[in-house]
Structures are given as structure tokens and as C-alpha cells.
């Protein structure tokens, strides 16, 4: 399918206090070593051609391949694109990681470096201590290697502390039909009140909400009574409860993150995601509740929900 068949997106709202006006949809990771590099670059370029102006990557996405693909796709078209990269090893010196990422990207700087996958309040407190990873990242920003800093996080308590610290320009966290309610009820409004940008992920629950998968297309290893998954490949019609791409996109955009990241590694996935976003209409309260209920059914038996904090009472929200 050609690029001209895709809807065209225009910048919609400010990304917190960064001064950057972002499209509602951002380009999530699309690295896949089973796919020729030129195809990955072309798929990313296709999303840029549709007007999307936020790209997310990290060194751990296919061992640097994602960064290399992003860098190649941005050659000659860097201006006007907000590039997010991450610091993966939170207990290791930050500066060498930043320098290595910039080398793979082939860029002198990015717009945002985020400390990646912060899992608890205690981990955030360690990162934020004097001399810790956040202070080291602040030094990288001062050197001009990034304009902004933030965190990607899987715990509401850590996100609340990060926003209140006033040391994060952007926070990245799960928003979608199946996430802990605190992301929606506490973190999102707090970030807005403090002018902190919100970039969301897990719109599709790592793919669990769309198909018979334990996440990111991996087949279910076992089902009740030990039955092996009959879901087949991702393009096959799921046999277990599932949501549509449109339902997930509608739900998440109704929550109004500044940017909703979506992985769109193949043109057909891009088509479905972007067309759903292009015709978005906010859901009412009853519609949101109905999607949450269906998501609760769709997530059952599909493995760990690692983007929610460990809790005896994890709520879908």
C-alpha cells in the first residue's frame, strides 16, 4: 500500500513544557532482525511521510538495531521530529550509554533521553539521589546531548514522585484499556498540572488485547488444561476474547495523552493504527467502561501484565 493512502497527521498539542507541538500518535519501536533493514527504514519513513513527528527508540530494542534504523530514516529529515532515546542500564554510568546511543543514531543530540523502565519508588529514589543516574543525565543535557530528560516507568508511585520532583520534562507510562487505574486517576492529571509531557505506551497491552499472544506476538505457551495456543500467527483471527485496534486507539486517545506511541512495524499494522486514529471520536463514560470490561476478559490467561505494579489489587482503568 502506498504512502498516499495513509491519513495525514498534523501537530495537535504541546508536549508538556518542552515547547514542541506533537502529533497525537507517535512512532514506537519497529526494530525486528527478521526483517531486512531497508524494509524497516522504509516503514519508518512511511510513518514520517504521514506526518507523525515523535519517534521512540532505545539501545535495548534489538541490541541497537532500532537506533540505527531511526538514524538512517532521519537522514535529511531530522528537523521537526522529536526523537526520544533511553538509558537502559540504570545502575551503570550514564554518559557512556548516551554517547553510544548517539553514535548508533548518527546524531549529535536527541530531544529527550529517558531513564528506561523504572520499576519502583525505591528505584526512582536511588536514581534521583545526589550523583545518581538522573544527575548524570542532567549533565548530558547540559552538554547539549539532549534538550530534555525524563523517565519511562511501570509504577505509579515512582511517576508521582518524578513529576513532583520537577526534574523530569516528560514522563512515559502505560495508558490503554488495561492499565492500573492510578496511571489514569493520579499520574495523568498530576503531570498535566505540573506541565510535564505525557507520552503513553501499551495501547494494545503488548498485543495481548488484540490476539492470542503472551505479548509482542509471542505465542501462548499453554492455556487452561495445558492446551497449546491455537492462535497461530498474528494475522490469524484470534479464538480468545480480544479487542479491535480501533477500540484500543479510541480508548487511549480519549484519555488524552500528549502523544500515544504505537509500534507499527509493518505497513498493514500502520494502516490499521493510523486509520483508527484519523477517525477518532472520544468515547463517553459508558463506552469507556464497556471497553475496560472487554479488555479485562481479553487479557485473561495471556501471561504477566508487567506494565502494572505488583499489587494484590491491580485494577483495570
Interval 228-278: pLDDT, tens? 333 334 446 899 999 999 999 999 999 999 999 998 888 888 999 999 999
β-pairing, 213-215 with 21-22?
A: unpaired
pLDDT tens digits, one per residue of 59-76: 999 999 999 999 999 999
Coil, helix or strand at residue 80:
coil
Contact call for residues 301 and 201 (beta carbons, < 8 A): no
The helix (run of H) or strand (run of E) holding residue 173 is: strand 170-174
Calpha distance 222→315 (Å, rounded): 24
Domain limits, the chain: 23-212+241-299
Closest CA to 214 of 238, 245, 184: 238
SS3 content of the chain, % helix, strand, coil (to 5): 40, 15, 45
Q: Which grid cell is 52? A: 507523525
- Multiple choice CATH, 23-212+241-299, 3.40.710.10, 3.20.20.100, 3.40.50.720, 3.20.20.70: 3.20.20.100
Calpha distance 114→124 (Å, rounded): 12
The reported pTM is: 0.93
User: What is the per-residue pLDDT for 227?
Assistant: 39
Contacts of residue 163, defined as CB under 8 A and 6 or more positions apart, other chains included, come to 171, 187, 190, 191, 194, 196
Average pLDDT, the chain: 92
pLDDT tens digits, one per residue of 92-144: 999 999 999 999 999 999 999 999 999 999 999 999 999 999 999 999 999 99
Largest CA distance in the chain: 57
Q: At what angle do helices 65-74 and 37-49 cross, to 10 degrees?
A: 50
Q: Determine how many CB atoms are found less than 10 A away from the CB of residue 15.
A: 26
Amino acid at each position: 500500500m502506498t504512502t498516499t493512502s495513509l491519513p495525514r497527521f498534523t501537530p495537535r498539542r504541546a508536549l508538556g513544557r518542552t515547547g514542541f507541538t506533537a502529533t497525537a500518535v507517535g512512532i514506537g519501536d519497529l526494530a525486528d532482525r527478521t526483517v531486512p533493514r531497508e524494509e524497516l527504514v522504509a516503514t519508518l519513513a512511511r510513518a514520517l511521510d504521514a506526518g507523525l513527528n515523535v519517534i521512540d527508540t532505545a539501545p535495548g530494542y534489538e541490541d541497537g538495531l532500532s537506533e540505527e534504523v531511526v538514524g538512517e530514516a532521519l537522514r535529511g529529515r531530522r528537523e521537526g521530529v522529536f526523537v526520544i532515546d533511553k538509558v537502559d542500564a540504570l545502575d551503570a554510568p550514564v554518559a557512556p550509554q548516551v554517547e553510544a546511543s548517539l553514535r548508533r543514531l548518527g546524531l549529535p543530540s536527541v530531544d529527550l533521553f529517558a531513564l528506561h523502565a523504572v520499576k519502583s519508588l525505591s528505584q526512582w529514589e536511588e536514581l534521583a539521589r545526589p550523583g545518581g543516574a538522573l544527575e548524570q543525565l542532567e549533565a548530558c543535557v547540559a552538554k547539549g546531548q539532549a534538550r530534555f530528560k525524563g523517565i519511562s516507568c511501570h509504577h505509579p508511585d515512582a511517576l508521582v514522585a518524578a513529576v513532583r520532583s520537577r526534574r523530569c520534562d516528560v514522563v512515559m507510562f502505560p495508558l490503554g484499556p488495561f492499565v492500573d487505574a492510578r496511571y489514569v486517576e493520579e499520574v495523568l492529571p498530576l503531570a498535566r498540572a505540573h506541565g510535564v509531557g505525557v507520552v503513553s505506551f501499551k495501547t494494545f497491552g503488548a498485543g495481548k488485547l488484540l490476539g492470542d499472544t503472551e505479548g509482542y506476538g509471542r505465542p501462548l505457551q499453554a492455556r487452561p488444561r495445558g492446551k497449546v495456543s491455537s492462535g497461530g500467527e498474528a494475522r490469524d483471527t484470534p479464538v480468545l476474547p480480544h479487542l479491535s485496534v480501533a477500540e484500543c486507539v479510541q480508548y487511549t486517545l480519549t484519555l488524552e495523552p500528549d502523544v500515544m506511541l504505537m509500534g507499527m512495524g509493518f505497513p498493514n499494522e500502520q494502516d490499521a493504527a493510523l486509520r483508527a486514529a484519523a477517525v477518532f471520536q472520544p468515547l463517553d463514560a459508558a463506552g469507556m467502561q464497556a471497553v475496560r470490561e472487554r479488555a479485562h476478559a481479553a487479557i485473561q490467561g495471556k501471561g504477566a501484565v508487567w506494565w502494572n505494579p505488583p499489587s494484590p489489587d491491580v485494577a483495570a482503568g
